[in-house]
Amino acid sequence: MPPGSPGSLAGTEYAQIIAYVLQQNNFATGRKEFASDAAALASVTIPAPPGGRGGGGGAGLGGGVSASVKLPPAPKKANPLDKITPVTDAMLENPPAGEWLTWRRSLDDQGFSPLKQITKANVNNLRVAWTWTLSPGANEATPLVHDGVMFLHSPGDKLEALDAATGDLLWQYARLLPPGVNAGNKRAIAIYGNKVYMATSDVHAVALEVKTGRVVWDQPLVEERGFNVSGGPLVAKGKVMIGTSGRVGGKNYIVALDAESGAFAWRFNTIAQPGEPGGDTWNDHKAEERNGGSVWTAGSYDSALNLAFFGVAQTYDTALLVKPVRPGAKTDGLYTDCTLAINPDTGKLVWYYQHLPNDQWDLDWVFERQIVRMPVNGVVRPVIMTSGKQATYDVLDAETGKYIFSKDLGLQNIVTSIDPVTGKKNINPQTMPGDGLTKMVCPHVDGAKSWIPSSFNPNTKILYIPLVEACMDLTPVTDGGRGLLSAGGRPSLRPRPESDGKYGRVEAVNMLTREVVWTERHRAPVSSGTLDTAGGVIFNGSIDRFFRAYDDQTGKLLWETRLTDVPSNAPISYTVNGKQYIAIGVGNGGAQATGFAALVPEIQNVDRAPAVWVFQLP
């Protein structure tokens, strides 16, 4: 309080508000006044109301339970937390078939489920198993499931444990944020050993006991203000690794903490510093004048190579790179739009590959780094597959970072050609901002491909990609204001040239042959990641609140249902007691859910109603 300006009142005023709220809810007056300093107020715990959860001790309608009544015992039921087991490195790398242990199920980010009870023949029989309402706010977090327990992030920096078969709440942790800090979206949580890990809006990492939700440790990731964290943790080799985002001069980090104790292990600055490798690529600007390089999705990990892979976003001030100070000044802006391969033991950079130097269009290459095994020149090798917002996939050797090939999905007009040996992208000069003219650029800054992740079938080598068909006009800022991009002006939405009004797209690409297997297009922009299952079914959702299932070989629509809000994370699949479930979180408010809404004005999503929906066969 007050709404829109939290933390703006004096401590004495907050003390009076708390006292008033308690008084109006029939709490007895205490024997001393509330302290008025922030730390003391932050420690105040409001006790359970008289009469238990019914509240009010008879003051409210319903009145709670009479003080003279002894309730009959509640029915006994099994608590899956009683038998929950520690999660090991081996399990994270190769989860049991019915588990979903990272935001993309396993450390390789493939997002593929080997479950096959739900098939093309019976998926049309899916029905709701249970639902769970989350706290108000936007919701982009993907749940995890282990030993019959679902762990999920709820808006407002909460983490909850639910019975994954029934939806019963087992425990809840709620973060108390400092005054002036607003809760932001989180896209991932992590589980390892006997702990669940989450990043918080005040840029901490917190480890919670799996069985109770009790805080085991709580550590800040940075010392300075101005950072954010939204991607979530990667846990591997006993390290909790989390990327930061923000516009702090000269800094953004990948931070590693000890998974057991929370002790600081190392951090890597994603903005190359003067005098260090890559430090001369920022147009001769001082360290504090550089910005961007955010890491806002979780990384992936390969144990055989002992490498953690992270994507890095663009610079937020393109003017740093657009006009060289002197002839020959380098303007690549390392390590923006790069894949970084980092040794998790030491935090040392082993290799990097820059997908798009001098990014003038806000086309982050920060999304999932999928680790797959594919034949390269006749030899099966581990490779990295990743795309930025322009929907061009680059495939790299995971051990060395050597470029292998690219697959352009045809939704961009920025790159005219790609060097088949190096992967260097030749830029269309008509799309370059900075000359005072409006530029029609594809895709829009919210991306043809964005953070909502793709799914890769390791058996068929088919990649299933959620896409949006949209472009933008980059208009120079002439009113003295600041555009989204300092050298690019102000972006506005527009359909692709000769658009038929269909913006949502799911594309299946065979990454061995590099051929498109099928393309499914519909009116509503997509808003969720894809899930592929061994039952031959693809799941995906869009901003019209439809959650759909497709045949993974043909793209034929097999089933759809309407949800209460926009599906805005990634679907998962898991089993409890041998039964397969499909789960998807909803919660309008993230950029993917809201950024394209103006293209489809007939689709109205007014209020936020975040929840998790779980489906089963009868």
Question: Which pLDDT tens digit goes with each residue over 87-99?
Answer: 999 999 999 999 9
pLDDT at 57 over 50: no
Same domain, 39 and 93: no
Give tens-digit pLDDT for 98-147. Answer: 999 999 999 999 999 999 999 999 999 999 999 999 999 889 999 999 99
Separation between Cα atoms, residue 606 and residue 611, nearest integer Å: 16
Sign of the four-CA dihedral 276, 282, 287, 291: negative
The answer to whether residue 78 sits within a structural domain is no
Which position has the token pair 């205490």?
Answer: 30
Q: What φ, ψ does residue 412 adopt, rounded to 5°?
A: -135, 155
Which residue, 580, 581, 583, 555, is CA-closest to 567? 583
Could you write out the DSSP letters of every residue in 192-256?
Answer: EBTEEEEE-TTSEEEEEETTT--EEEEEES-SSSSEE--S--EEETTEEEEE-EE--TT--EEEE
Same domain, 91 and 63: no
pLDDT at 65 over 90: no
pLDDT score at 450: 96
Same domain, 128 and 258: yes
Contact assessment for residue 392 and residue 411, using Cβ atoms and an 8 Å cutoff: no
pLDDT score at 580: 98
The answer to whether residue 76 sits within a structural domain is no
pLDDT score at 236: 97
Of the residues 36, 71, 106, the one at which a domain ends:
71
pLDDT at 4 over 70: no
Name the average pLDDT for the chain: 92
Same domain, 34 and 123: no
pLDDT score at 313: 96
The answer to whether residue 325 sits within a structural domain is yes
Which position has the token pair 């309730």?
Answer: 71
Of the residues 38, 71, 104, the one at which a domain ends:
71
Same domain, 436 and 583: yes
Same domain, 327 and 428: yes
Same domain, 501 and 564: yes
The answer to whether residue 79 sits within a structural domain is no
Same domain, 415 and 514: yes
Virtual CA dihedral for 57, 60, 61, 62, nearest 10 degrees? -20
Same domain, 22 and 148: no
pLDDT score at 54: 44
Question: Parallel, antiparallel, or unpaired: how do β-strands 169-174 and 557-562 relate?
Answer: unpaired
pLDDT score at 484: 57
pLDDT score at 36: 80
More confident residue, 56 or 543: 543
pLDDT score at 327: 87
Domain tally, the chain: 2
Contact assessment for residue 409 and residue 424, using Cβ atoms and an 8 Å cutoff: no
Radius of gyration of the CA atoms of the chain, in A: 25
Structure tokens at 593: 């859910």
Model pTM score:
0.90
pLDDT at 479 over 60: no
Q: pLDDT band for 55, please (50, 70, 90 cuts).
A: very low
Structure tokens at 584: 């998807």
| Rounded average pLDDT over 354-365 | 94
pLDDT at 481 over 70: no
pLDDT score at 397: 98
The CATH number of whichever domain residue 296 belongs to comes to 2.140.10.10
pLDDT score at 19: 83
| Rounded average pLDDT over 16-43 | 78
Same domain, 540 and 417: yes
Task: Determine the length of the chain.
Answer: 618
Give tens-digit pLDDT for 299-330. Answer: 999 999 999 999 999 998 888 887 788 888 99
The answer to whether residue 524 sits within a structural domain is yes
Which structural domain, as residue segments, surrounds residue 136? 86-616
Q: pLDDT band for 48, please (50, 70, 90 cuts).
A: low
Separation between Cα atoms, residue 329 and residue 538, nearest integer Å: 48
Q: pLDDT band for 589, please (50, 70, 90 cuts).
A: confident
The answer to whether residue 250 sits within a structural domain is yes
The answer to whether residue 410 sits within a structural domain is yes
Please count the other Cβ atoms lying within 10 Å of the Cβ belonging to residue 21: 11
% residues pLDDT > 70 (the chain): 95
Of the residues 22, 47, 71, the one at which a domain ends:
71
Virtual CA dihedral for 459, 462, 463, 465, nearest 10 degrees? -130
Give tens-digit pLDDT for 146-169. Answer: 999 999 999 999 999 999 999 999
- Distance, CA of 94 to chain centre: 22
Residues 6+ positions from 594 with CB-CB distance below 8 Å? 588
pLDDT at 13 over 80: yes
pLDDT score at 454: 98
Q: pLDDT band for 591, please (50, 70, 90 cuts).
A: confident
Separation between Cα atoms, residue 605 and residue 546, nearest integer Å: 12
pLDDT score at 354: 98
Question: Parallel, antiparallel, or unpaired: how do β-strands 195-199 and 515-522 relate?
Answer: unpaired
Same domain, 200 and 312: yes
Give tens-digit pLDDT for 496-550. Answer: 999 999 999 999 999 999 999 999 999 999 999 999 999 999 999 999 999 999 9
Same domain, 403 and 490: yes
| Rounded average pLDDT over 35-49 | 72
3-state class (DSSP) for residue 158: strand
The answer to whether residue 326 sits within a structural domain is yes
Give tens-digit pLDDT for 387-430. Answer: 999 999 999 999 999 999 999 999 999 999 999 999 999 999 99
pLDDT at 285 over 50: yes
Please count the other Cβ atoms lying within 10 Å of the Cβ belonging to residue 384: 27
Give tens-digit pLDDT for 171-219. Answer: 999 998 998 898 999 999 999 999 999 999 999 999 999 999 999 999 9
pLDDT at 58 over 50: no
Residues 6+ positions from 254 with CB-CB distance below 8 Å? 241, 242, 243, 244, 267, 268, 270, 295, 299, 310, 340, 342, 347
Q: How far is CA 147 from CA 103, 141, 574, in A?
A: 16, 20, 10
